[in-house]
Structure 1
């Protein structure tokens, strides 16, 4: 009830302090239009001879950059693969043994089978070894540029070797 009685007093104060005359009188006109500002911006940039897109000229591909993109890509691929495998286990008729027998009946050959096993194992191994590398970075170790490249090569070698080992099983 007390708030309702304060409402007219508040309105009176607001109208008294924020009259349209007061707001218009203190408004400052803009010095230039938006079009003039854009023309000034582009003429200044054209005169500086800088590239419009720094990504093309400044950021060249490096091993840590490519490995970061690869880490994210393998994470997405592994998540999608596990989700699709789980959905297929729920929706497809039969069980795992029947699907395994179907693959064996195709007579694909050992080269194709080992290549497929390597293709399935590599993203998992790469993501795992690179995740361990990231955990070392979280501990503050290996953050210097030469160490970044050394650990990157080590992750790639370990990923290939462990993937070959898993594919040979």
Structure 2
């Protein structure tokens, strides 16, 4: 092992800086430590009044930004809701009709039921229409900024109309 290290040291660019013991190798000493380098980095950024990292508060909110965040949030919410519903269907006693009768017996007013239907239909319709918008982007269409905004407003309008229509059924 020591012979191998000495052979490598003879052919190395840094051979004059390295010292080899029987089985250990010493690294070239650096002028500064990593902590000192990081302190210089943060001091420079503070002097230049730079933010610590790109963050939501740095940018002005726009329709594409809100649509992207909302698409991800609805996707997470819908998959979580479906998973919870599936687990509940597996572990709770009885069948679906028993729980549906329980909801009917609570005698909520029509306004509450319409709002509940709207609250369930809104994320489903938004995620569906925005997913279609993303599929259109996947084929390379609609990337110009006016088209991005127009398709965003179209998705929002269709989402609202569809959710109202589904809640009124």
Q: Does TM, normalized by the shorter one, top 0.5? A: yes
Once residues 16 and 110 of structure 1 are traced to their aligned partners in structure 2, the CA distance between those partners, rounded to angstroms, is 86
5+ unaligned residues in a row in structure 2: which ranges? 19-27
Say whether 1:107 aligns with 2:89: no
Structure possessing the higher radius of gyration over alpha carbons: 1
Runs of 4+ in structure 1 over 6 Å off: none
- 1:17 pairs, out of 7, 10, 35, with 7
Cα deviation, residue 42, structure 1: 3.9
Provide closer, same or farther for how the CA distance between residues 160 and 30 of structure 1 changes in structure 2, counting only shifts above 3 A: same
RMSD over aligned CA atoms reads 2.5
Q: State the TM-score, normalized to the length of structure 1.
A: 0.80
Once residues 15 and 56 of structure 1 are traced to their aligned partners in structure 2, the CA distance between those partners, rounded to angstroms, is 52
Cα deviation, residue 99, structure 1: 1.2
Deviations, residues 115-147 of structure 1 (Å, cap 9, x unaligned): 001111111100000000000111111111111
Say whether 1:26 aligns with 2:26: no
Provide closer, same or farther for how the CA distance between residues 147 and 19 of structure 1 changes in structure 2, counting only shifts above 3 A: closer
Aligned length: 158
Aligned-partner SS, 1:55:
coil
5+ unaligned residues in a row in structure 1: which ranges? 1-10
Cα deviation, residue 13, structure 1: 6.0
How do 1:43-82 residues align onto structure 2 when only pairs under 5 Å count? 43-55=43-55, 58-82=58-82
Which shifted more, 146-155 or 52-61?
Answer: 52-61
| Structure number having the greater helix percentage | 1
Match of 1:150 in 2: 150
Once residues 34 and 115 of structure 1 are traced to their aligned partners in structure 2, the CA distance between those partners, rounded to angstroms, is 57
Q: Indicate conservation of the 8 Å contact 1:130/1:155, yes or no.
A: yes
Q: State the TM-score, normalized to the length of structure 2.
A: 0.80
Once residues 112 and 66 of structure 2 are traced to their aligned partners in structure 1, the CA distance between those partners, rounded to angstroms, is 28
Cα deviation, residue 32, structure 1: 3.3
Q: Indicate conservation of the 8 Å contact 1:51/1:57, yes or no.
A: no
* Structure ranking higher on relative contact order (CA contacts 8 Å, 6+ apart): 1
